């Protein structure tokens, strides 16, 4: 049985936003007094969860909404710098043509997501849950299941962060980890995802031919 519904994260999963996020952090560090990060530390930091990063950078939870609003505003002003990963459009088209319904659950804004996807690709998604709080994805995943009418065993959430794994399992659905996003492949594999996508081509291959 294949999955009836594939729910995607956006940043780091569909869109290659890490290079832009690195430059954004420079602004965040100045705006909010966060510690500077040396390029030599990037790989180590990519192995940390959001909670671990908050602890390392001494960021209290109460500041997350303000930081998130600033980040989304800056991203909306720089849409021309954001692109999808190579092959994502083709993979989404193939999944849709194979009868897999598509949805998005993301902390990013819906306007930003639709703009970067482009009209044709954006139209392939039947449901959007956007502007989600940093630790609010599990609730939105459950809402997506209710809105689409798809039972949890027939759905999978696909993302690139440790918090995505946690959200999927709290929502009672399978999780597919992508190896090309924010968190490292190793840090995601250590959380025992249901599926691990090594490259974009794996999305179609594994989502169309999984679970017997």
CA distance 69 to 66: 5
Beta bridge pairs of residue 7: 103, 157
pLDDT bin (cut points 50, 70, 90) of residue 211 is very low
Q: What is the mean pLDDT of residues 37-55?
A: 82
Task: List Cα–Cα distances, 186 to 47, 54, 64, 183, in angstroms.
Answer: 8, 20, 26, 8
- 48: tokens are 């940390």
Q: What is the mean pLDDT of residues 167-183?
A: 96
Q: Residue 1: what pLDDT?
A: 47
CA distance 108 to 119: 17
pTM of the predicted structure, to 2 decimals: 0.90
Percent of the chain beyond pLDDT 70?
A: 98
Choice between 84 and 19, residue whose per-residue pLDDT is larger: 84
Q: What is the mean pLDDT of residues 158-174?
A: 96
Q: Residue 154: what pLDDT?
A: 96
DSSP line for 180-211: TSSS-HHHHHTT--SEEESSTHHHHHHHHS--
DSSP class of 35: P
Secondary structure element (H or E) that encloses residue 167, with its range: helix 162-171
**Tell me: domain 5-16+84-208, CATH 3.40.50.1000, correct?**
yes
Question: Is the predicted pLDDT of residue 25 greater than 80, yes or no?
Answer: no
């Amino acid at each position: 049985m294949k999955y009836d519904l594939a729910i995607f994260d956006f940043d780091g999963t569909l869109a290659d936003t890490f290079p832009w996020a690195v430059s954004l952090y420079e602004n965040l560090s100045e705006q909010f007094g966060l510690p500077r990060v040396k390029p030599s530390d990037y790989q180590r930091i990519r192995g940390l969860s959001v909670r671990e990063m908050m602890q390392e950078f001494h960021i209290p939870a109460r500041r997350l909404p303000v930081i998130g609003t600033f980040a989304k505003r800056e991203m909306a002003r720089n849409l021309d710098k954001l692109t999808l990963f190579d092959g994502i459009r083709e993979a989404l088209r193939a999944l849709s043509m194979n009868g897999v319904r598509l949805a998005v659950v993301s902390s990013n804004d819906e306007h930003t997501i639709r703009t970067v996807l482009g009209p044709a690709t954006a139209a392939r998604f039947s449901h959007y849950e956007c502007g989600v709080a940093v630790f609010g994805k599990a609730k939105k995943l459950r809402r997506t299941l209710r809105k689409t009418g798809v039972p949890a065993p027939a759905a999978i959430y696909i993302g690139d962060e440790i918090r995505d794994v946690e959200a999927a399992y709290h929502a009672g659905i399978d999780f597919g980890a992508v190896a090309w996003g924010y968190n490292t492949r190793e840090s995601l594999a250590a959380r025992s995802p249901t599926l691990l996508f090594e490259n974009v081509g794996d999305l179609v291959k594994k989502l169309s031919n999984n679970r017997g």
